[in-house]
Amino acid sequence: MSIPLKHFKKGSAKPELPEDGLLRLYCMHFCPFSQRVRLMLDAKQIPHHRIYIDLIDKPEWYREYSPLGKVPALQLTHVAGQPTLVESLIIAAYLNEQYPQRPLYPIDPLQKALDKILIERFVPVVSAVYPVLTCNKNAPPDALENFESALDVFEQELTKRGTPYFGGQKIGIVDYMIWPWLERIPSLKYTTEQHYELNGQRYEQLLKWCQLLAQDPVVKLSALDAQLHAKFQQSKRLGKPQYDVGFED
C-alpha cells in the first residue's frame, strides 16, 4: 500500500501508483461486496493495492476503470490493456481459477453448483437487511422479519451440513461470500431502537459460526468492529456518509 488511506473524491487527481504489476482493488472501506474480494485476495495472500472510492462524489477518472462506476473493481495491471473486472462473485471465481493456492470453491462441479446456489439464496438476506443496516427511515416495517426468514435458510443449511463451516471442516467460498453481512449485524445493536441482536436459539449454529469466522486470521485482516460500522451507518442516515471514518486514527 503506497497511497493515502482515504477515499478519492470528485476532482481528485488519479492516484499515483508504481507500475509494479500488482493487482489494484478499487473499493469502499465499508462496502460488503468490496470486502468479499478483499477476503479472496487475503485468503490467497495475493499482494495488491487498494484504492478507495467515494461512492457519492466519485472521481471523474473512475469510469475509465469501472464503466458503471461500481465497486468493487479489480484492475489487472500485469495484463495487456490493463482490463478491469467487476461483480464481486465474478472476481471471486476469477481469483480462484487464476491463483490456485488455497482453493475456496469445491472441485466437484455439483458441489460447486450447490454452493453457488446457496450464495444466490443470500440475495434476499442482503435485500432485506440493507434498509435496516443503513438506518433508512423508509425501511419497510417487516424488513427485520424478512431478513430473519431469509437467514433461516442458512441456519438450516449449516445444521444440515453438520460441519463448523459451510465449506466443511475448513472455511470455503460460501463462508467468505456471506461473512461481510454477518459482520455488520452486531452494529444493529447500536443503530436500531430495539437494540437488535440475533436470537440465540433461532440462530444457534450460525452464531457459533460467526464466532469461528471472527477468529479467522484472514477475516481479521479486513474486519471492522460493530461500533465503527454503526458510526458509518449513522453518518449515512444523516445524508453525509463519512467514508473515511475508519481511517481517522
| Binding stretches for a copy of itself (CB under 8 A) | 76, 79, 83, 85-87, 90-91, 93-94, 97-98, 109-110, 112-114, 116-117, 120
> Is 176 or 232 the residue whose CB approaches a copy of itself more closely?
176
What letter represents residue 222's amino acid? Answer: S
Closest distance of CB 210 from a copy of itself, Å: 25
> Is 117 or 238 the residue whose CB approaches a copy of itself more closely?
117
Residue 8 forms beta bridges with which residues?
53
Task: Tell me whether strands 23-27 and 73-75 are parallel, antiparallel or unpaired.
Answer: antiparallel
User: Is 31 noted as a catalytic residue in this protein?
Assistant: yes
Closest distance of CB 213 from a copy of itself, Å: 24
What CA–CA distance (Å, rounded) separates 53 from 10? 9
Closest distance of CB 129 from a copy of itself, Å: 19
Closest distance of CB 240 from a copy of itself, Å: 30
Closest distance of CB 91 from a copy of itself, Å: 7
- Only one residue has cell 478491469, namely 84
Q: Which of 27, 31, 135, 210 is catalytic?
A: 31
> Is 163 or 234 the residue whose CB approaches a copy of itself more closely?
163
Burial classification of residue 29, based on how many CB atoms lie within 10 Å of its CB (0-12 exposed, 13-18 middle, 19 or more buried) = buried
> Is 25 or 188 the residue whose CB approaches a copy of itself more closely?
25
> Is 54 or 115 the residue whose CB approaches a copy of itself more closely?
115
Active site residues: 31
